[in-house]
Amino acid sequence: MTVTCRQMQQCEEAAFARGVSAAALMEEAGRGIAKVVRQFAPRAGSLVLFLGKGNNAGDALVAARELVADGWRLYARLSGEPAAMKALPRQHLATLGSLVHLLKDACAHDFPAGPIVSLDGLLGIGAQGPMKPELQVLAREMNLLRTQRHAVTIAMDIPSGLDGDHGDACEDAVEADVTAVVAQMKAGLVEDGADHYVGRIALVPLPDLAQTDGDAQAEVLTPQLLRSRLPRRANDMHKGDAGRIGILAGSPGFLGAAELACRGAIRAGAGLVTLLVPEKVYPLLAPRMPAEVMVKMIDDYRDVLDMRFDALAIGPGLGFEHEKEIVEVLKKAKAPTVVDADALTMLAQHPEVMDATGKLPRLMTPHPGEMDRLLRNFPGWHGMSRRRLVESLTESAPGRTLLLKGTRTVIATQGQATMFNTTGHPGMASGGMGDVLTGVCAAFAAQRLSLHLAAGLGAWLCGRAAERFVSQELAAMESVGASDVTAHLGGALRDLKEGCF
C-alpha cells in the first residue's frame, strides 16, 4: 500500500489523539533509521547530520545517538541557530553536546579516512514547493559531498526537495542512495523519475502508525510483505516437491547466459534443473555447467513440449537459429514459463504469438530496450508511466505477468496489486543480471508459486544479493558481477526470512 502525505499526517493525528506522544514516535523512528545505517553502512566512520528546524532533525539526532556507540564520529550542518529548532530536536542536540562537531561547510572539512554517511534531516512530508534558500544550500552541499567524496546519502522518509505525493523534484533536491521510509510508503517515492533521488527504499515500521487508507493496488516489496508469502519447506520434502525446471538458453558466443540462469535457479532452491541444448552446443556448455545441472541434448526444441517440467525458462543467450522451434514452444507450452532476452525479441517479431499466449502462464521480464521492441506492436503507449504501461499490457491477458526491469522494477498481473521492488544498487548495471533473475524466477515458479509472487521474490532477492556482495566482501558497488549475485543469493534469502530491510 502507498499513501499520500496528507493520509500519513492524518494517521499521525489519530495516533496523537490516542495518546501516543511525538517524543515516543521520534525515538522509535530514530532507532529504526539507525538500523538502516547499520545495514547499508556497516563500517563506522563519519556521520554528517544535515539538520533543518523540524522534527525530521530530531529523528536524525536520535539515530546519531544510537550510532555513537558503534564508533561513528558525529558532525552536523545546521540550517540556522539551534534556538530556532523545534523543542524536541533542540533537546536531542543539547543532549549530544560535544559529541557533535558543528561544521560551516561539510565539503571543505577534512574528514578522517573511512566511510562518510550524510543523513538528510532537512525536511519532512509536510514540506511543499521549492526549498528555502538556507535549506537549498545544505541540500546542494549534501549532493556535492556525495559526488566529490563518495559519501553515502541516507534520506529520512523522503529526500528533501522531493514531492512525497507526485515524485517531482525541485532544484537541488537531495539525491539519496537510501531512503529510510518511516511507517508507510509515500506514493511519490515510486513515481517515474523519483528513483534518481530516492535510491534504495528501506521501510522502517512504526506499529502506532500502521493503520491508514491508501492505494491498495500498489505494493512496495519489503521482507515483511514477502516472507509471509514464502512457503516454509516441510520436513519430508523431496527434490520433486522443489520443482523441475527446463531451461532453454545458450548458444555459441553466449554460453555464460545459460550458466548464470542455471546457477540462479539452483540458488533459489530448484529441485532439478535441466538445460536443454542442441547437439552442436552440448560440448561447449556441458563442461561449464555446475555439477547440479543436468545437460540434455535435444534434436528439436519442440521436444520440450512432451517433457515433464514444473516450469520453463526460455531466452538467455539463446540466439535465433532455432527461432521457429522456440516460437512454437512459447505458443504451446502449458507449464509456467519465464520469457527473457532473445525469446522476448522473438515475441516482438511475432505479435500474433504474444496475443495467443495471453491466457497461458507467462512471466515476461524485459529491460527497457526489450520493452521498446515489444511496444512496437502496441500503439498508444507513448506518455504512459511505467506502472500504467505494465498494467495495460496485462489487464486483458489473465495469464501474463510483466516484470519491467529498471532502477525501480515494476511487476503487474491482472487482478493483483502492482509491485515495486526496493532492493539493488547502480552496480547492477552490467551484463548477466537478467539471466540470473530468469533462473531465480523460474525456480519459484517451479515450486508452484504464482508467477506474480515468483517475480517479486526474484527481483527482491537479486537486488539484495548485489547489496550483500558490497557489504560482505567490503567491495565497491561498481565491481559486482552477475556471478557475484548468484553467490550471494543464499544470504539474501536468509535476510528475507529474518526480516532485514
Question: Annotated binding site: which residue ranges?
Answer: 56, 120, 124-130, 157, 160, 257, 317, 367, 405-409, 434-435
Is residue 333 a contact partner of residue 313, using CB atoms and an 8 Å limit?
no
Cell of 286: 556441458
> Where is the binding site for (6S)-NADPHX, in residues?
124-130, 157, 257, 317, 367, 435
Cell of 364: 515476461
DSSP letter, residue 162: B
Find, among 451, 133, 285, the residue nearest to 273 by Cα: 285
CA distance 25 to 449: 37
Q: What are phi and psi of 77, to 5 degrees?
A: -120, 115
With vertex at residue 270, the alpha carbon angle to CA 266 and CA 272, rounded to the nearest 5 degrees, is 95
Cell of 136: 537549498
Find, among 232, 201, 163, 176, the residue nearest to 6 by Cα: 163
Q: What are phi and psi of 119, to 5 degrees?
A: -110, 115
Is residue 202 a contact partner of residue 501, using CB atoms and an 8 Å limit?
yes
> Where is the binding site for AMP, in residues?
405-409, 434
Q: One-letter amino acid identity for 283?
A: P
> Where is the binding site for K(+), in residues?
56, 120, 160
CA distance 339 to 319: 14
CA distance 165 to 3: 8
Question: Residue 16 CB: number of other CB atoms within 10 A?
Answer: 12
